[in-house]
Amino acid sequence: MKIKFIIAIILLLVASLFLAYSYYIYQLSPINEDDSVIKIEIPKNTSGTKIAKLLLANNLIRSEAIFKIYLKLNNVNNLKHGIYDLKQTMDVEEIVAIIQKGTNLTGNEIDILFREGINMRNVARVIGSKTNNTEEAVFNLLNDTAYIDTLIAEYWFLTDEIKNAHIYYPLEGYLAPNTYRFNNEDVSVDVIFRRMLRETDRILSKYKDHLNNINFTIHEFMTMASIVESEGVNDIDRPKIAGVFYNRLSRKIPFESCVTACYATKTDACTPRKVNKNYASPYNTYLSSMVGKLPVGPVSIPGKASITATINPAEHNYIFFLADKYNRTYFNETNSQHESTIKELKKAGLWIEN
């Protein structure tokens, strides 16, 4: 009996070791058969732990823990900084070998900053000024319906709603603001767009379950977030601003958002005097036809703070807000209170006149 028990224990241990080894090998295997290139940047002095997090965030490895175990078991401690073209068809061994080899930085690398709150026209200007692409090339790609269809098929948060005929630019609101590094000025518009879309994917994936269980479509959510971004003057007030727009939406009150009216007329650097409240457009939320409605699409690219505020708006009864010349925000529950605040700001010389 003792021998049988010992044999059973040995078999159980062997089976457990086999299962553990099989699991380990599986975790080292490629994510899928998608052969598209995913460009990642590893800064100088980045630890193996941070590299593991970066690879996991870009869906290049299955497990952060197993990646670190692989590094330790194989005594890998010479991973190099650089910009790498990786694919989901690569297993961990291939990825590690590439990062160990390093890249030959030429000194021609460029950093491009896309700020929160800019719109697609600003994006095109930045690309035109920082790369060998023209602004026209940006808009030509945005007008390529086959290209947009390809992106919709690739990114879960892009839907056919961005193909609405009234939308000016299909990717408006979906290109994440950040500073991006590229190999040189010859980088294509497509590569830039995809880098920004992957960053959006990284940000939104944290809230995927929430976004799939709200009364808005993802497109409507991004539209709301873009308004919160453009109307907000600081991150502290954004949740309260989001609350104002949610209150207006639920009470069937037009948003009456200056930034939506300016976007409708393609007016940048929006100020109260530049607002055409009567301009006929599904972007213009001053119109009576927009009661209880969001604009047809985003009006800018929202940052993380605006996305978070739109997910977690402050609960209150305010339906009005405005900012003074020093970017202080004032909130009111009634129109009379709102008008009174405006008079007080004008009297104190704090009203934005231009």
pLDDT at residue 119 is higher than 70:
yes
- Residue 5: how many CB atoms within 10 A of its CB? 9
Looking at residue 40, the DSSP 8-state letter turns out to be: E
Q: In the chain, what are the domains?
A: 18-101 (3.30.1490.480), 110-205 (no CATH), 214-347 (no CATH)
261-280 tens-digit pLDDT: 999 999 988 777 778 999 99
pLDDT for 79 equals 86
Q: How far apart are the C-alpha atoms of 62 and 27, rounded to whole Å? A: 6
Q: How confident is the model at residue 105 (pLDDT cuts 50, 70, 90)?
A: low
pLDDT at residue 113 is higher than 70:
yes
Dihedral Cα 341, 344, 345, 349, nearest 10 deg? 170
Whole-model pTM over 0.75 = no
Q: Shortest CA distance to 256 belongs to which of 233, 234, 289? A: 289
Q: Shortest CA distance to 330 belongs to which of 338, 322, 342? A: 322
| Alpha-carbon 89 to chain mean position | 25
Amino acid at 33: E
pLDDT at residue 22 is higher than 90:
no
Q: How far apart are the C-alpha atoms of 84 and 82, rounded to whole Å? A: 6
What would the mean pLDDT of 54-66 be, rounded to a whole number?
Answer: 91
| Structure tokens given for 106 | 């030429």
Q: How confident is the model at residue 169 (pLDDT cuts 50, 70, 90)?
A: very high
Return the higher-pLDDT residue of 228 and 99: 228
**Cα radius of gyration (the chain):** 25
Strongest mean pLDDT among 45-59, 68-82, 137-151? 137-151
Q: Shortest CA distance to 261 belongs to which of 298, 286, 288, 291? A: 286
- Among 12-26, 143-157, 158-172, the minimum mean pLDDT is found in 12-26
